[in-house]
Copies of this chain bind each other. A is one copy, B any other.
């Protein structure tokens, strides 16, 4: 008897194309172009650079990347101070053109370091939500260890409904799996009080829905999470409405900054302490950098027909490259399909919910 071994060569998945908004961000377009070039050269990504052609062409040429990095012209630019209204005002912005590339199937994802409000509004209007998804949610990563914690919604929906929060759990779980390699994400809901039944009406109702649907929807729902647990790593995904999420994230950001300021002062309050601080300069600087880049490095808008990664506004080249890699991973992992399936798993939710989703589109 002879045995036949079938050797299967792993077929590399097709590299998805990422549209990069070259005009958004405090250091645009120079640092964006530079980060995009690095993403192409060092990581083999396929990118389209979107923005004002006459401005971008010389920059790309200067990097000797005119062949590897095609430019798609966009007339207008979303200014960093422009919020949601820009979505309607600037129909030919680089973000709007990037969305068009996604709609036409020429790109799978969008990376922008532009104003969060402007990018969220433009891509929500232009890409629209996935079938069955009521609203997109903005997901941010908190610097817990060993794995990060994902919080959503970080501000896309100031007023949410319990059914939206239930869906956010699926958006967040898909992001944790594909974007951060967390095989079975534990999901919690941000509220006040640790026992079931605590919180405001929205959180209580959402917790009920999640408890009822968790098993059927294969979601590891762990119940209530309180504010002081946000950085404790108790769960991988924290679900909340965009108002509470934004307040909580900014409170964390402000408190970390405050604690560092107070500590800096304490460390230089006496000659003895000052001497100590000198010995620790390196350790403290490294910590500062880790908290900075990891916690507020970027956000992902989930639930649309296309992946949207919003890099931090003050991103330099390295941050842009990182955002492009995240966008590639999410697109290659077909996050939109995963979300679609996750939300379909909830579709024994009454039909009025779907109607609601459509009417609110």
Contact = CB atoms under 8 A, between A and B. Distances in A.
Interface stretch (A71-79, A258-266, A334-342): A258-266
B254 A266 contact: no
B259 A255 contact: yes
How many copies the complex holds: the figure is 2
B158 A200 contact: yes
Contacts of A273: 279-280, 282-283
A239 to B, nearest CB: 13
B243 A251 contact: no
A61 interface: no
Contact of A260 (B203, B259, B283): B259
Interface stretch (A5-13, A104-112, A177-185, A225-233): A225-233
Which of A203, A249, A250 has the most chain B CB atoms closer than 10 A to its own CB?
A: A250
A155 interface: yes
Which of A199, A226, A227 has the most chain B CB atoms closer than 10 A to its own CB?
A: A227
A270 interface: yes
Contacts of A260: 259, 263
A356 interface: no
A267 B273 CA distance: 12
A270 B284 CA distance: 11
Contact of A201 (B159, B257, B258, B291): B159
Interface in A150-188: 155, 158-159
A27 B257 CA distance: 34
Contacts of A277: 276, 280
Contacts of A192: 155, 158, 242-243, 246-247, 250
Contacts of A282: 270, 273
Nearest to A253: B228
A212 interface: no
A155 B191 CA distance: 11
A200 B243 contact: yes
B255 A283 contact: no
21 contacts: A158-B199, A190-B247, A192-B243, A227-B246, A227-B248, A227-B249, A227-B250, A230-B254, A231-B254, A243-B244, A244-B244, A244-B247, A248-B251, A251-B251, A251-B252, A252-B252, A263-B287, A266-B280, A273-B283, A276-B278, A279-B279
Interface of A: 83, 155, 158-159, 190-193, 199-201, 203, 226-232, 241-244, 246-260, 262-263, 265-267, 269-270, 272-273, 275-280, 282-284, 286-287, 291
